[in-house]
């Protein structure tokens, strides 16, 4: 007999395994946050550079003040962006991407570029779908 504990037959605990398909995984929660409509658009915009709140709201056409504020808080919590309060008169707040946010935004930019270049295909498919639905 040895004093070493026997290995766990169930394998590693869920906390040690990153799996976006697992309900409790942090990566899944972050995936859900990043893939929300407003978060994706905010990350794409911030991929262009720093923004103040109102400029970001204008860039992300259609987002309400409340939704933008919530989205920024979520992305800041997830470590995707930083909020910097500038000590000017009046005080200003600027948002920018963290290194993680930059990596995520680059992936989203690739997807956005693909979808933008596929607009004729998308529109054709939508038109055909509508014709078949009558």
User: What pLDDT is attached to residue 12?
Assistant: 53
Per residue in 34-44, pLDDT tens? 999 999 999 99
CA dihedral sign of residues 96, 99, 102, 107: negative
Can you tell me the distance from the alpha carbon of 100 to that of 108, in angstroms, rounded to the nearest whole number?
13
| 101: Cβ contacts below 8 Å, ≥ 6 apart | 43, 46, 75, 79, 80, 81
Q: Is the pLDDT of residue 33 over 60?
A: yes
User: What pLDDT is attached to residue 40?
Assistant: 98
Torsions phi, psi of 41, nearest 5?
-70, -40
Residue that is written with structure tokens 């930019």 in the block: 109
Per residue in 83-114, pLDDT tens? 999 998 988 999 999 999 999 999 999 999 99
User: What pLDDT is attached to residue 13?
Assistant: 55
**Element housing 96 (H / E):** strand 92-97
């Amino acid at each position: 007999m040895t004093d070493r504990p026997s290995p766990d037959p169930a394998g590693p605990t869920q906390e040690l395994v990153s799996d976006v398909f697992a309900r409790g995984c942090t990566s899944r929660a972050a995936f859900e946050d990043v893939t929300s409509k407003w978060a994706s658009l905010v990350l794409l915009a911030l991929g262009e550079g720093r923004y103040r709140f109102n400029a970001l709201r204008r860039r992300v056409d259609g987002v309400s003040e409340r939704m933008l504020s919530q989205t920024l808080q979520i992305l800041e919590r997830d470590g995707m962006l930083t909020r910097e309060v500038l000590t000017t008169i009046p005080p200003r707040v600027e948002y920018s991407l963290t290194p993680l946010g930059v990596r995520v935004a680059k992936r989203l930019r690739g997807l956005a570029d693909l979808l933008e270049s596929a607009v004729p295909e998308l529109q054709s498919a939508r038109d055909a779908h509508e014709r078949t639905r009558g």
